[in-house]
Amino acid sequence: IFDQGFWASCARLLRPMARFNMLRCALFVLLQRGGLAVHSSSAEKTQRGVDGDHRVIVRFTDHSDSFEHEVEKYKKSKGVVRAKPLKQLRMAVVTLQSEEAQDEFIDELDGDEAVELAVPDTWVYADDFKSPRRAAPETELKPVRSLAEVLEHRRQCSNNPACHSRGLTGMCCPVPDGTMLSCCSMHLEPTTVALQSYHATYVSVTGEGAISARAPGMLAESKLEMMVHDDESVSFRTVFGAYLSAAETGWVTAVARDIGEREKFTLVFNRENGTFALGTSEGRFVTVEPTGYVLANRPTSDLWEGFIISKVEGKNQRFPNDPGVNQLWGMNSWARNDIDAPEAWRMWTGELGAGIVVGVIDTGIDYTHEDLREQMWVNPKEIPGNGIDDDGNGFVDDVHGADFANNDGDPLDDQLHGTHCSGTIAGVGDNGVGIAGVAWRGVRLMALKFLSADGSGRSSDAIGAIDYAIAHGAKILSNSWGGGGSSSAMRVAIERAEKAGLLFIAAAGNSGSDNDVEPHYPSSYEVDNLISVASTTSTGELSSFSCFGNTSVDIAAPGSQIYSTAPGNKYQFLSGTSMATPHVSGVAALLWMYRPQLSMQQVKQVLFDSVEKSKLLEGRIVTGGLLNAKNALETAWAFEPPRPPVHAPRAIAFVDEDPAVGTYSGVIKVTAAADESDIEYYRVYFVSAAGFQLEPFGGKMPATGERELLLDVNTSFSPPLYAVGLVAVSGRSTGEMNAKSDGVPQVVLEDYGVPELNAKGASWSGDSDLRKGWIAGTLSVERAGHEKSVSHYNVYWHGSGGRGELAGKVPAVGFSEPTCTGNACELIKQSRSGDTYMFERQPYTDEEEAIIAMSGPGTATVVQFTTEDYYDTLSIGGMQLSGDMTDSVPLPIPLPEGPASIEWASDASINDKGWIFTLVQGGARASFALNATKPLAEGFEVVAAYGRNEFPGEGILVALADFDRKMPPSPAFAPVSISFVDVDPGEDVVSGVAIVEQAPGALDAGVSAYRVNFANARGHPVGHGWTVSANDTSALQVTIPATAVPHGAVQLIARAKSDAGLAEGFVSTELVDIRPVAPGNVTWSSDRDMRAGRVSGDLVITPASLEVGIVSYVAYWIEGGKRVSEAGRRAPRGYGAPAVIHFGFGTAAEGSSILVVSAYAWGEMSEGVSVEVPDLDDARRLDAAAQAPL
């Protein structure tokens, strides 16, 4: 307060006066500046004498080196009771024993070069307080107030009506940092506006006072300063200092320099089109003719008399240069139904703040948009485009957020909704492009997509988005969605956000109903961090579609016809509480960047306390008012932010003692702070990999002075999603530290898990290094049935002495064999052959449910499928199958990498034949490559592990063998595969061509030929064999002539041969002696073609009992037992599925029956199955109908 200008003012006013009188001058100037009044009387002097409170204010010169040293000297002076330094003001207040001591002290300081001023500390009072000057005994007088008390009183919000009406408390005029709130003034300040006519032209003036409305755009001369009078009339002052006047002649001019009745206009609002008519003092209305003349001669108002009054930048406003800003009525509208964004932008746009992350839980965001890309959140721990989950959060390349609808890291908006909401929150302002969001700069938009392209989504995905936002540092969650009823899981997720300090802003809904009666979720959850938002129109009324609720909907914001960003660098108007919600989210972000020390609850309270009250909203929503950005920024200064302790605990330690993977138990040890003077308690929280505080663990631990505090975890717990550690913070009643505070200790959660399963098996490919004493090759590991408790497999050298050194590790991938849950699991037939599973449910019954869960990648192939259409469904890989799919099978459906499931459900009505599908699962085997090395033992041991803990049982042992060129070929050079198809129809006789695929590098390793043999189940050769020379082709052909199958032979094997002999390693294929089998049956649907000689229908072929070797089923027209012509052919579908041949409309009937035979590689069978195909033309249909029994 007491700056150089202050004292200079005193010197100019009272230069001749004595030094003592300088105080009265000072208080007089203070009166002019701060609204204080000086009162002095004999009664006051008497009272001061009674109290014995005689104080002197001492101000030191700027060149005084150490005024604190001077203050210490004053304490030793005669008559001084105490001396208190005011460092920031370079002042001191000295209290003395008596008035005489006071005068002597002032005289003593006169001439001290270190002292600029020394004056009595005189009493002052505020104007609105009663001064104790009544004629009563001195002993009855109440103590008068000090200067400091009076100053504090005047600064109180409660003593400034405009501030008090907003519900502000504490200090307002000014706030603690010196800012003077606009509500401290009792007069409305002029607003700069422009008048746009019905003809889309702007009213402009000249320096001579001429007025016209011909300008198609806003000019500097179009700006008018509008003043509101006590009688609610308005006047318009031009940029030339004159006022608009309505002359008797009917002309409107701008020459008057003072305001009279002709310079006052009444505003009449037209709710239908949102325009204002200007009424004159004579009851006429201002109009603009098509020629541009502005007149005031109309007795009534119509279209030409309507004006759009637009706010333009005035001294208390700031506007961005974005061309679409004029479309943003919700930000700025003279009708006062906006959020006062330009007034807020004059104070703060966020560009100088530390930033804030706003999570937009919606359809995603077009993060390439010209008005959004600079505002996008960027995951600091993710490397864009490398295809790797760098931060280990489960999403690959989640640079700007994540897509929970499609479970990937790309939240690009494929709809519109999320991009539109994002533009309102934080479209880049003042960049000359598009629009401006509420918060121009500083906001980082985290795209959290859970709604798909059709605008729908699942609550579980929304919950995932909430948890992701908490773990990655969002402070505000904008939720322009709802429906689906109440969900305890959703409510708990919002409560988790509350515990982490996030504000959850939600749309109230668009059904136009009362949420007090019919709740709308998530906006109707009673959680302390939630704000429910209604929508208003440009007239200030609730939008017709907006939900409301006197106890359940908190605040209103503009939501009808809102202009904002759209995907593809476009812009669009949309309406809904969805559009109102981002206005609130944007103001919350702007406010929180303005006062980052405020708590989440304080930010919420500021938003509520700062609304513009409206009779249109009273009784409809909790606050009864409209969101106001300017009021919010001003109101924020009335809140004292939390004051947490400055001393943090020194350490936190935790060791898991629970052997189950994913659960923890043990004792948490917190080492207390060295200085606990400002600490009341300690608390433990989970913390994410990004370093953000999640939910608390346990309760508060009082600071007792003990060096170590123990939190005993008696029962096992599972950490929340994204939690990777624990953090210990200190707290007190005025605030609590958080995980990002300086010096806060953390400990990583290391799971003491023990694998439940070991690897199923392991095999060695053989030595590919033919140097003696060296080996190289590949160890194949068959993964555990499920890897829920496996993080990797340890591969050890193993010999006669047991386990040796670690040779390496094979990472787990989350592999899981198919498992079934549900009431239909026992009814579904399941089988496995090699890597292929088969699932069959034929026929099925009512109300069956089953979920077959497994890991991908893989392929499910539907080979038979007939269910009740629409109601009975099988869901595979994102496809929902239902109905008769006979013509579509076999249908292969890929399963993506990662967790996958196949879901079956039938209702309680019609049933059908059912379904069969096969599943080939990838990832069941892993490879461990051993580069050329000298072996440390005779074999390997494979054991599953989780972290540092290993499977407690025995490991899988694999023997190794060192091969060189003097030995038969190593198994590493065994053939890759062998295939064979019998083409001989004779029983127990086979013939055909065996295909042997050579191993890479086999020729260089000395392989000269391959031997093919019949073999028994153990792989031992039986009967005949054939040899083929190796060459530089990948596949070799071995012709096997018609040969009787030896006794016991069940497979063909192929082995490599070199000059040193025949290898022991081999590959095999099943030996199938193909025997011709006719189709099981054939049926004809009936003729659908009404013309003679033409047929149309379906030929349904029941497959042969053994389809091995059948190439196709061939249908022939027959007449008189002889084949006439081929009618069609179909390949077998396998798994007992019928083959169907469709006869289209107009097919020529070349016989009376059809014969179906099985065709093999060697030819067709002569015998088969037949069915009559009657040609039913119209005449025969009528005849058949006439003969039918009644």
CA 245 distance to own-chain centroid: 56
Check residue 29 and give its pLDDT: 39
Q: In whole angstroms, what is the distance from residue 370 CA to residue 423 CA?
A: 10
pLDDT single digits (tens) 1147-1183: 999 999 999 999 998 899 999 999 999 988 755 555 5
For residue 187, give the amino acid letter. Answer: H
Q: How high is the pLDDT of residue 179?
A: 54
150, pLDDT greater than 50: no
CB 973, CB 957: distance < 8 Å: no
Q: Mean pLDDT for the chain?
A: 86
Q: What is the pLDDT of residues 959-994, one digit of tens each?
A: 999 999 999 999 999 999 999 999 998 889 999 999
Asked if residue 55 has pLDDT above 90, the reply is no
Written as six digits, the tokens of 669 are 């040890």
Per-residue pLDDT tens over the stretch 96-116: 878 888 888 888 887 777 776
- Mean pLDDT, residues 648-662: 93
With a CB cutoff of 8 Å and minimum separation 6, the contacts of 377 are 357, 400, 401, 444, 445, 446, 447
pLDDT score of 19: 37
Instruction: Give the model confidence (pLDDT) of 269-297 as tens digits.
Output: 776 777 889 999 999 999 999 999 999 99
> Which of 578, 610, 614, 1096 is the catalytic position?
578
- Which two structure tokens, joined as six digits, stand for 380? 């600091």
Give pLDDT tens digits for 436-466. Answer: 999 999 999 999 999 999 999 989 899 999 9
pTM above 0.85, yes or no: no
Checking if the pLDDT of 32 tops 80, the result is no
Q: Is 66 a catalytic residue?
A: no
- pLDDT for 163: 64
Residue range 188-204, pLDDT digits in tens: 456 788 999 999 899 99
Mean pLDDT of 775-791: 95
For residue 1185, pLDDT beyond 60: no
Q: How confident is the model at residue 591 (pLDDT cuts 50, 70, 90)?
A: very high
What residues have CB less than 8 Å from 395, skipping those under 6 apart? Answer: 389, 402, 408, 409
Is 147's pLDDT higher than 70? no
In this structure, of 191-195, 621-625, 1111-1115, the range with the lowest mean pLDDT score is 191-195
Q: Nearest 5 degrees, angle CA 1133-CA 1138-CA 1142?
A: 100
Cα angle: 270, vertex 271, 274; to 5 degrees: 75
Query: Which of helix, strand or coil describes residue 102?
Result: helix
In this prediction, residue 105 carries a pLDDT of: 82
Q: How confident is the model at residue 491 (pLDDT cuts 50, 70, 90)?
A: very high
Note the pLDDT of residue 252: 95
Average pLDDT over residues 1135-1141: 87
What pLDDT is stored for residue 136 in this prediction?
30
Q: What is the pLDDT of residue 54?
A: 74
Say what the pLDDT of residue 117 is.
64
- Short-list 806, 822, 819, 642, CA closest to 732: 642
Q: Does the pLDDT at position 148 exceed 90?
A: no
The pLDDT tens digits for 300-350 are: 999 999 998 877 776 778 899 998 998 899 998 866 789 999 999 999 998
pLDDT at residue 352, as a whole number? 76
pLDDT mean over 882-909? 92
- Which pLDDT does position 4 carry in this prediction? 42
Q: For 224-254, how does the pLDDT look when each residue is reduced to its tens digit (9 = 90+)?
A: 988 878 777 889 999 899 999 999 889 999 9
Question: Residue 24 pLDDT > 80, yes or no?
Answer: no
Exactly one of 54, 369, 417, 520 is catalytic; name it. Answer: 417
Distance CA 722, CA 688 (A): 5
Given pLDDT bands bounded at 50, 70 and 90, which one contains residue 354? confident
> Which residues lie closer than 8 Å to 401 by C-beta, 6 or more apart?
359, 364, 365, 377, 411, 446, 447, 448, 449, 468
pLDDT value at 776 more than 80 = yes
More confident residue, 27 or 1147: 1147
**Is the pLDDT at 13 greater than 60, yes or no?**
no
Q: Is the pLDDT of residue 671 over 90?
A: yes
Which pair of tokens denotes residue 791? 């993080």
Residue 498 banded pLDDT, cuts 50, 70, 90: very high
Catalytic residue among 121, 322, 338, 362: 362
Q: Is 578 one of the catalytic residues?
A: yes
What does the pLDDT average to over 939-956?
Answer: 95
How far CA 447 is from CA of 398, 407, 490, 1123, in Å, comes to: 10, 13, 19, 69
Name the pLDDT band for 8 (thresholds 50, 70, 90): very low
Output the pLDDT for position 100: 80
